[in-house]
Structure 1
Amino acid sequence: MNSQSAAVDGGTLSSHAVIGAPCWVSLTTRDLEAVQSFYTAVLGWQWRVGKLGDRYRFASVDGVPVAGVSAVRSMGDTAFAWTPFFATDDADRAVSRGYERGGTTALGPISFPPGRAALLADRDGAVFGIWEGELVTGWEKWRAAAPAFMELHTRNAFDAAMFYAEVLGWASEAEGCCEACYEDESVVLRSEGEVVARIHSGAVESAPDPAIRPRWQIHFAVEDVEACARAALDHGGSVLARAAGRPEITLSDPDGARFVVYARPAG
C-alpha cells in the first residue's frame, strides 16, 4: 500500500458524519527511518506500526494517530508529496462523479477494512484522496491532536469549488456535510463551523515550477515556526518560503515533499 491509500487502524467515527471534510493526511517516502526522524524533530511526532504492515507507519501526537507515511521503492516522475483525504459517504459515487466532471482516478476504490479508499486528481491535476468508512480516530480528536489546514492553489477557485462540491457533496442537504462559501476572493470550506480548507486562484497548470502548479498543500499548526525551520534544516530538509507579515513557513522534507508550519492560534 502506498501513502495515497487512506489508512484506518481502529477508528471510532464514520466518514458519513463529516461528509466532504478533510479526515486524514498521508505521505510517500523512499526512506521510512529518515522521514520518521525528520518529522519527529520538526513536528514532535511519535511512530508505530499498525495493521497495514511494516511499510506503513502511523504518526501520533499524545497517542492520537494524525498522519500516515508509507515507503515506496520508486515514484518514477511523480514527486513525493503530502496528500489530503476527504470523507465521503459513498466512494464509488465520488469516483464516478469525479470522472464525469473531468477528473481522473489513479487508484481505487480499494477495500481497506473497515473502509474504502481512492486516489483522484481534479480537472487541473491537483491530487487528493477520498475515504469511506470508519475514521482513524474521532474527527474532533484528530483535529485537536494535530490541527491540519488544507489549502488548494488552483487555476480558478470557483470552478474548482464546483468540482469538489459535486464530487464530495459540499453544501448538500446530507447531515454532516461541509459548507462552502466565497470570501475574500477565496472559497472557504467549513465543517461543523470550523474552517478546514481554502481554495485560491492563480496557479498555472503548465508552470515549470511545481510550487505554482495546481496542488493541495498541508498546513500544520505548531508552537514555534522558527524552531521547526531550524529542525528541518538540521535533518535534511529545506526552508522554501516565509509568508510576509505572518508566522508561516513553507518547508520540505528530505524527499522534497512540501508542507507549511504556522503558529498555533492562541487559546
Structure 2
Amino acid sequence: MLTTRYVTGAPNWVDLGTPDIDGAAAFYAALFGWRFRPGGPEAGGYGLFQLDGRTVAGGMRTTPEQGPPSWTVYFRVPDADATAEAARQARGSVLLQPLDVQDQGRTAILADRAGVPFGLWQPGRTEGLDVVGAPGSLCWAELYTADVPAAAAFYHSVLGLETYGVDTPGGVYTTFGPAGEGEEAMFGGVVALADDPAEHEPHWLPYFEAADPDAAAAVAEEHGGTVRVPATDLPDVGRVARLTDPYGARFAVIRTEPAQGQGGPADRPAT
C-alpha cells in the first residue's frame, strides 16, 4: 500500500514533463480537479499540482531534447549520489546528475538497464507528496519491461526493492515493495511487455485513484486525451483505464476495490 509514510525505496514523488504546461494544467484540472501552482523564478519553471491545497504531483515545461512528454515516478532514497552510483554499477545510467533543489531535497534522474527513466528524491524539508491513495492522487506504479527477472534484479540492487508473486487467474503478477516492509507495503508491479499488447515499449506507468474510471476516460477524451485501454474490471482489484493526456504522457486511473484497500492492479485483463 502506498502511503505518505515514505520509507526507503517507496515512491514519494511523481511529476509531469510536457511541452505545454498551461494546456496540461487545464486537462488535469478537468480530470482530477487539480490546480497548478507555478514556482517562482528560482524554481526554473517547475510548479506543483495541488488538490484541495495539498500537493499531488509536480510539473514543468520540457523540450523535445529532454525527451517525450511523460510522467516520472520518484523513489525515496537516503543518499541520491550513492544510489546513482549503484545504478551505474548495475548497468543503468544517470540521465540527470544528483543536484540540490534549494533546501527541499536532492534529486536525480536515472534509467534502468532497459532505458526506463525514474527519479530519486532524497528528502530535505520536503518528504514527498502531501497525499497519496486518495481520489485524484498517486496510488500505484507499474513497470512494463521486456525482462521481468532482470528488472527485479536491477531495482533490488539499486533501491533495495523486494518482489512478491501474487497469484491471479491469468498467472502470477510480480509486485514491488520496499525492503523489510512486507507484502502489505507493496506499491507497484512489473509486467512483461509480451503479456500486454497495449504496451509497446518499457516505461513506468503511474496510477491515480479515480471514483469513476469510465467518467474519467470520457472527460479525458473530451479534453483532448486518448483512451488506450477502456475501463475494465479486475477481480478483487478494481476498475482500471489506461489513458494519455493531450500531449502523449501515459497514465492510468483506478477505482480500487474497497475490500482490497492495500494493493493495486494485481491482476490483468484477458487479452
Q: Does 1:257 align with 2:249?
A: yes
Q: Does the 8 Å CA contact 1:117/1:129 hold for their aligned counterparts?
A: yes
Q: Does the 8 Å CA contact 2:39/2:45 hold for their aligned counterparts?
A: no
Task: Measure the CA separation in 2 of the matches of 1:18 and 1:79.
Answer: 30
**Deviation of the 1:127 alpha carbon:** 1.1
Residue in 1 that maps onto 2:223? 235
Q: Does 1:201 align with 2:188?
A: no
Which one is further off, 48-57 or 24-33? 48-57
Task: Measure the CA separation in 1 of the matches of 2:126 and 2:217.
Answer: 28
* Deviations, residues 140-183 of structure 1 (Å, cap 9, x unaligned): x522442421000112222211111111123xxxxxxxx43233
1:94–1:54 distance in 2 versus 1, CA, 3 Å: closer
Q: Does the 8 Å CA contact 2:174/2:190 hold for their aligned counterparts?
A: yes
**Deviation of the 1:245 alpha carbon:** 3.6
Residue in 2 that maps onto 1:173? none
Q: How does 1:84-99 map to 2 (within 5 A)?
A: 84-99=73-88
Q: Does 1:220 align with 2:208?
A: yes
Residue in 2 that maps onto 1:124? 114
Task: Measure the CA separation in 2 of the matches of 1:189 and 1:58.
Answer: 27
Q: Which runs of 4+ in 1 moved over 3 A?
A: 50-54, 134-139, 243-246
Q: How does 1:86-165 map to 2 (within 5 A)?
A: 86-112=75-101, 113-134=103-124, 136=126, 141-145=130-134, 146-165=137-156
Tell me the secondary structure at the aligned position of residue 25 of structure 2: helix
1:211–1:79 distance in 2 versus 1, CA, 3 Å: farther
Task: Measure the CA separation in 1 of the matches of 2:91 and 2:35.
Answer: 39
Task: Measure the CA separation in 1 of the matches of 2:198 and 2:124.
Answer: 33
Which one is further off, 106-115 or 81-90? 106-115
**Deviation of the 1:188 alpha carbon:** 1.4
**Deviation of the 1:260 alpha carbon:** 0.5
1:137–1:224 distance in 2 versus 1, CA, 3 Å: farther
Task: Measure the CA separation in 2 of the matches of 1:92 and 1:138.
Answer: 18
* Deviations, residues 50-79 of structure 1 (Å, cap 9, x unaligned): 45547222111221101011012x214832
1:54–1:138 distance in 2 versus 1, CA, 3 Å: closer
**Deviation of the 1:107 alpha carbon:** 0.4
Which of the residues 159, 163, 176 maps onto 1:189?
176
**Identity value in percent:** 33
Q: Which amino acid aligns with 1:85?
A: Y
Task: Measure the CA separation in 2 of the matches of 1:119 and 1:138.
Answer: 16
Q: Does the 8 Å CA contact 2:29/2:35 hold for their aligned counterparts?
A: yes
* Deviations, residues 164-213 of structure 1 (Å, cap 9, x unaligned): 1111123xxxxxxxx43233333312355333111122359xxxx99321
CA RMSD of aligned residues (A): 2.5
Q: Which amino acid aligns with 1:28?
A: G
Q: Which amino acid aligns with 1:265?
A: E
TM-score (norm 2): 0.79
Task: Measure the CA separation in 2 of the matches of 1:122 and 1:147.
Answer: 22
Q: Which amino acid aligns with 1:109?
A: P
Residue in 2 that maps onto 1:4? none
Task: Measure the CA separation in 1 of the matches of 2:163 and 2:105.
Answer: 26
Q: Does the 8 Å CA contact 2:73/2:204 hold for their aligned counterparts?
A: yes
* Deviations, residues 67-125 of structure 1 (Å, cap 9, x unaligned): 011012x2148321101000111111111111111101110101112311111110011
**Deviation of the 1:136 alpha carbon:** 4.0
1:53–1:130 distance in 2 versus 1, CA, 3 Å: closer
**Deviation of the 1:244 alpha carbon:** 4.5
- Give 5+ residue unaligned stretches, structure 2: 262-271
Task: Measure the CA separation in 1 of the matches of 2:190 and 2:147.
Answer: 9
Residue in 1 that maps onto 2:266? none
Which of the residues 53, 58, 61 maps onto 1:71?
61
1:138–1:217 distance in 2 versus 1, CA, 3 Å: closer
- Give 5+ residue unaligned stretches, structure 1: 1-12, 171-178
